[in-house]
A and B are shown apart, each in its own frame.
Chain A
């Protein structure tokens, strides 16, 4: 694994067992998260982005299970760790921030106790006073006055609670924070401030952040690179400027054109016809083929590889792979 990669997902498949059959919510997905980057993971409901985020911490229980793949985090394959070893990674090395902080925080526990408990669970040798001091320093850094540590979650605003969630992740100096729709329940001004905070933390602590969101604008605002998922597959990954300026996958192209842009003069939004497929019976070939404006005959039978188009810009689309194959045939 190259030194600049913090987390390398290889051929990950996550399945849900349902009464109607097995649903592959993440299907043979590979993804690299680089050290110190903010990677935006976008896609619509049901594309598998949250399932992927949870799988990175092996958080699946119940009907969901990891059916295959490797999870290389900072030099080791998490799939090879036992269930008893996982808590040392979860919460400590990888932190998580969910959409609704109210369901992640204990309503009858003061904020301070959340923090000191987290710190002392993972570092039992730390004294109460030291844990408290670390907590105070941390929340002040995140823009919460230290007196407020004595409050309960319900006494804080949504934006404040989300800061508390981040502080819990940072209390143990996590290397990676997985933030799943962290700003979705926040108002725009609070959201903007939270995004500013993420950027500061990235700069100051060299924090690596996987930002899972349906909000394309949020990704454009803070991410260094962007990964686009469609129907349990990775559709496209690349530098945020490149992907937004020159999206390769027809799904990404349509998605970007259908997002309202307050800075654009254009009066019309692009209307992508159809809907994502039912993952119980995904279409053969490329999963986007029934909706794709550039569909070719081969797309209905052959599944595209997830391959580089230019440099580090990857896409699963036969448009580029077909051209390559033809070139090869010409030269071969």
Chain B
């Protein structure tokens, strides 16, 4: 049975324009939960599902860094995979540069893939241990650009130099285990960028790196963004890092979007109680700024049976009766700044 959808307002967050690279419209991804024959009989054919993404709409503009933040299980990585076409949405659609991904044949989709790339968290898991770095980066070059061996090598050497792996000739023949973690992530970045994509989905790209390496990787990603005219979808759990790179940011909780807007607005005038808590929880590397605010009670509920109404209401400090019944729609509270909370105005004061 279809659930009530407060669509009209959600669409408002994704007004189409010529500057939009990606439009996500009312996206849903439900993963059915494995259950036995008897259980499904008892449930009369209704199979429970994890509502990983449950009605999300937003747009990514050309040339921006769009942040997608939230805790584990909020659905942020699933959104990234849906945008890349690595997962099929249960409902809703992803429009990439004017093309609905759902309407494409596998062959067209394959060709479109050269325009969207991904950087995952763990470079060791992303690289084939038996492939040299040169081979790993040649792979997308041969598929999407050229098959000429000399030309392939030239392109790979060029990108290796660009990501700071110099002398590139030396790195070309090395295996992933022979270089450091930070260098490996540079290889992953090089492989993602070698096809000159329009969109890069970076899913926790620096989470595995050490503090001093993180700053270098972020700097590299931002320099390459300018140089190669990239657009990033930056998926992260780390709101402190997001502050340094994102132009706009969306906060997710239990498959839904709580708040989305320009980074400065969301951080300074956050008007969703969950965003507030999340920002407050980030440890500040300065003992003069120790947190005094209490944290929300309880833990994130299951995404199989999320609380009715506003998903956050059982933990919310300002929840009232209607919050457990009416699901709040995403509405524009300030220019370009959308919030899904019935009482957002109270936090804005």
Contacts and interface: CB of A to CB of B under 8 A. Distances in A.
Contacts of B287: 220-221, 223, 240-241, 244
B152 interface: no
Contacts of A262: 239-240, 243, 267, 279, 282, 284
Given A159-B299, A196-B295, A217 B215 contact: no
A45 B210 CA distance: 7
A160 to B, nearest CB: 8
A188 B281 contact: yes
A217 B281 contact: no
A218 interface: yes
A157 B73 CA distance: 12
Interface string B229-248: 00000000111110110000
B238 A260 contact: yes
Interface in A274-327: 275
Interface in B288-307: 288-291, 295-296, 299-300
A256 B238 CA distance: 17
A271 B216 contact: yes
Interface string A156-168: 0101100000000
Contact of A256 (B285, B290, B291, B299): B285
Contacts of A216: 211, 285
B330 to A, nearest CB: 22
Nearest to A42: B211
A263 B282 CA distance: 10
Interface size class of B (residues with CB under 8 A): 35 or more
A69 interface: no
A195 to B, nearest CB: 8
A221 B279 CA distance: 14
A71 to B, nearest CB: 28
Contacts of B103: none
Contacts of B244: 260, 267-269
Interface string A168-193: 00000000000000000001111111
A217 B212 contact: no
A157 B285 contact: no
Interface in A244-269: 244, 254-256, 258-263, 267-269
Given A188-B71, A189-B295, A262-B243, A220 B219 contact: no
A191 B278 CA distance: 11
Contacts of A193: 295
B285 to A, nearest CB: 4
Interface string A227-244: 000000000000011001
Contacts of A220: 283-287, 289-290
A217 B240 contact: yes
Given A217-B282, A217-B283, A220-B285, A192 B295 contact: yes
A262 B243 CA distance: 7
B85 interface: no
* Leading 4 A-B pairs by shortest Cβ distance: A217-B283, A260-B240, A187-B71, A44-B210
